[in-house]
Structure 1
Amino acid sequence: MESPSPAQIDFWSGKRLYVLLLAGLLVSAMLSDIAANRWSQPLSCFTLPFVASAGLASALGYWAVPWLRRLKAGQVIREDGPQSHLKKAGTPTMGGIFFVPASLVLGVAWAWMAGIQGLEVTAAALLTAALGFVGWLDDWQVLRKKSNKGLSARVRLAIEFGAGGLFALWLLLTRPDISTLVLPFGLAVPIGILFLFLAVFVVAAESNAVNLTDGMDGLAAGTTAIAFFGLGQIVAPDWPGLTLFCACMSGSCMGFLAHNHHPAKVFMGDTGSLALGGALAAVGLISNSLWVLLMVSGLFLAESLSVIAQVGYYKATKGPDGIGKRLFKMAPIHHHFEQSGWPESRVVATFYGIAIALALLALNLSQFA
């Protein structure tokens, strides 16, 4: 594959992608509010919390990024990753500590001020904060040890399962109907107590899937902003409070992206990625829209499956020398394209396009639910 020319690299610049995505989401938010006649009640609009959260997260970044740099909270780059990423070593990480709390506080406050499903939004925020805390512990261990080894997988999963289990138990006790899964085309499947296990799996799977996606400048922030935007539009008719929460989460991701687009000045770390996955899971579970969550999170699912497939194929093809073959040049799959010669921002732009297509597909299919 030929190396991209300087002109091609400039076309896929991180700043240009950020401006295009921000403009696209902002225009879409305003049009959705007009279509749903939400401007008559400003506190119920999607646009206003989106803009407020984006502005707050972006403003906080100008204080938090230098602060993280002074704390020497620099990213430790794994040695088996792309060699081009070694130059990113030392870039401040753990950025989730400023943009996630901003979105949670604003989202909860906005829902209560609007008088719309404040309890449900508070529950979603608590689960998000719990997953963010797990991520912070992991980030702190990495920074303290100056290695890629943070919390052990067993401890991390135990906390994720515990938080997901408590959240699922609250849902099941307060809303017995939640044990019947709602599917497209009017289908419904009662699963009873199995809902607890499904919910725990969704929380852990979603948070870790977003975590795997966070491997390039602007990739996780932009795709989760799109996912929250799409999910918020779909649940709006029945769950306007969760729509406000999604607006704040999407806007906050865009505010963080102002500092995280290529070349990134800060990384979100596990503090941010685990929290974002937890927030998506919370909205999907509360609204009983797991099939919608699966669709808008299809990109994160593909990232997870690429890692599983890579490991499985390597083990299955091991020869007498103990060395197996690789299905991809590198996993998660975004690194495969990077190793194939794509500029980092071109990979990110392509994945943005896929995330937008999945959100639009889910929005169209939701009309048949």
Structure 2
Amino acid sequence: MDAKLFSSRAVSLSGALLFILLTAGLSLVAVFLDVSAGRFGQPVSLALPLWICALATAGLGFWVVPMLRSLKAGQIIREDGPQAHLKKAGTPTMGGIFFLPVAVVVALLWSGFSTHVMAVSALTLAYGAIGWLDDWQIIRRKSNKGISPRMKLGLQVAFACLFCLWLWLTQPSTITSIALPLGLVLPLGLLFWLLAGFVLVSESNATNLTDGLDGLAAGTVAIALFGLGALIAPSYPDLMLFCACLSGSCLGFLAHNRNPARVFMGDTGSLALGGALAAVAILTNSLFALLILSGLFLVETLSVIAQVAYYKATKGPDGIGKRLFKMSPYHNHLELSGWTETRIVALFYLVGGLLAFLTLAICR
């Protein structure tokens, strides 16, 4: 057998195996948690919406992905990125346009249009719209530059302010502090709203930075959403449904996004997923839990900040500085260090799962 063909089949099998293990793992944990809480088989549960959205999204993808390809909605790959990624040029992007609506529609219908679910769904779709605008400009211009960073940030801040304003008008006195482990509370007063806006914008950008390898963002966010849903289940069953639905949609998307990816989520998906995580955490006063759950996204973001800061600090007379990593975000550094994509993704899934377990152990 040709060595290149054998390598390609090995990558495909390893990507499929990771997808199967993640889906089976989350399903088993969902069943265990539902049985433990006495809600297995009940309408309000973790497992049922997870499975339904996963199946619906995976099925829808068989129609949408070829449509995106026929519309020539192909990804433009950075020339200064890992050279192995150049072969991915032309892979359809904007996958968020089919897995986000599935989760939102199912969550809204299942929750009976709960006020909380409508609020986080609106924020999720708003951030998805920002991402879609960015993706569309990239495709239209055939360049990896979409809308300007200033415009993107401005829109993120604007929608974050609207979400915080809604929360302040409807629940002005219930959320002004951060719940900590051991029953401790950190009162913030008006500073809470500044923190909430910052978390919405930073979490959205953090998941966006993590979306750089096949299956990486979809799988890690699925784990984080699942962990957050399990944590808030006793107090916010409607938002647990939302988290389970969106986590399931991420799994269904992985059926097409696993290595080798047939479609990318684009900014349409990655910006929305971070916004969803942050919105649910703010509304349920779970910001400390979100900090743990988002450990991977935090590392990815810090690696970019450290890279830029180190380059500027070491810049010589020739205007060229030194690099702390071979490339940022950190997953690119690992890939340029000789790690395969599936090995990196497997590590991130494992760490994400451990962080979710740690969150439930500390914060429940």
Q: TM-score with structure 1 length normalisation?
A: 0.94
Between the aligned partners of 1:356 and 1:254, the Cα distance in structure 2 is 14
Consecutive unaligned residues of structure 2, counting only runs of 5 or more, are 1-5
Cα deviation for residue 39 of structure 1 reads 2.5
Partner of residue 234, structure 1:
231
| Match among 222, 236, 245 for residue 242 of structure 2 | 245
Decide whether aligned partners of structure 1 residues 281 and 29 sit closer, same or farther in structure 2, where only a CA change above 3 A counts: same
| Match among 164, 167, 182 for residue 163 of structure 2 | 167
Between the aligned partners of 1:303 and 1:182, the Cα distance in structure 2 is 25
Between the aligned partners of 2:91 and 2:74, the Cα distance in structure 1 is 5
Between the aligned partners of 1:46 and 1:281, the Cα distance in structure 2 is 19
Between the aligned partners of 1:154 and 1:341, the Cα distance in structure 2 is 35
Classify the secondary structure of the residue corresponding to 2:186. Answer: strand
Q: Which runs of 4+ in 1 moved over 3 A?
A: 5-12
Q: Is the 8 A contact 2:11 2:342 kept in 1?
A: no
Q: Is the 8 A contact 1:129 1:275 kept in 2?
A: yes
Partner of residue 27, structure 1:
28
Partner of residue 52, structure 1:
52
Counterparts of 1:207-356 in structure 2 under 5 Å? 207-356=204-353
Between the aligned partners of 1:68 and 1:172, the Cα distance in structure 2 is 40
Q: Percent identity, aligned pairs only?
A: 58
Between the aligned partners of 2:315 and 2:188, the Cα distance in structure 1 is 40
Q: Is the 8 A contact 2:78 2:144 kept in 1?
A: yes
The size of the alignment, in residue pairs, is 358
Consecutive unaligned residues of structure 1, counting only runs of 5 or more, are none
Between the aligned partners of 1:328 and 1:219, the Cα distance in structure 2 is 19
Between the aligned partners of 1:65 and 1:122, the Cα distance in structure 2 is 28
Partner of residue 81, structure 1:
81
Decide whether aligned partners of structure 1 residues 341 and 148 sit closer, same or farther in structure 2, where only a CA change above 3 A counts: same
Cα deviation for residue 267 of structure 1 reads 0.1
What root-mean-square deviation, in Å, do the aligned CA atoms of Structure 1 and Structure 2 show? 1.6
Between the aligned partners of 1:340 and 1:21, the Cα distance in structure 2 is 25
Partner of residue 183, structure 1:
180
Decide whether aligned partners of structure 1 residues 58 and 74 sit closer, same or farther in structure 2, where only a CA change above 3 A counts: same
Between the aligned partners of 1:61 and 1:84, the Cα distance in structure 2 is 25
- Post-superposition Cα deviations, 1:56-108, rounded to whole Å, max 9, x if no partner, equal 11011000000000000000001111000000000000000000111011111
Counterparts of 1:139-178 in structure 2 under 5 Å? 139-175=135-171, 176-178=173-175
Letter in 2 for 1:80: D
Q: Is the 8 A contact 1:61 1:256 kept in 2?
A: yes
Between the aligned partners of 1:7 and 1:148, the Cα distance in structure 2 is 27
Cα deviation for residue 109 of structure 1 reads 1.0
Between the aligned partners of 2:279 and 2:216, the Cα distance in structure 1 is 21
Cα deviation for residue 195 of structure 1 reads 2.0
Cα deviation for residue 170 of structure 1 reads 1.2
Q: Is the 8 A contact 2:94 2:265 kept in 1?
A: yes
Classify the secondary structure of the residue corresponding to 2:319. Answer: coil
Q: Is the 8 A contact 2:178 2:288 kept in 1?
A: no
Between the aligned partners of 1:215 and 1:180, the Cα distance in structure 2 is 34
Classify the secondary structure of the residue corresponding to 1:237. Answer: coil
- Post-superposition Cα deviations, 1:130-150, rounded to whole Å, max 9, x if no partner, equal 000000000000001100111
Q: TM-score with structure 2 length normalisation?
A: 0.96
- Corresponding position: 1:13 with 2:22: no
Q: Is the 8 A contact 1:180 1:190 kept in 2?
A: yes
Decide whether aligned partners of structure 1 residues 84 and 234 sit closer, same or farther in structure 2, where only a CA change above 3 A counts: same
Classify the secondary structure of the residue corresponding to 1:80. Answer: coil
Cα deviation for residue 205 of structure 1 reads 0.3
Q: Is the 8 A contact 1:307 1:331 kept in 2?
A: yes
Letter in 2 for 1:188: V
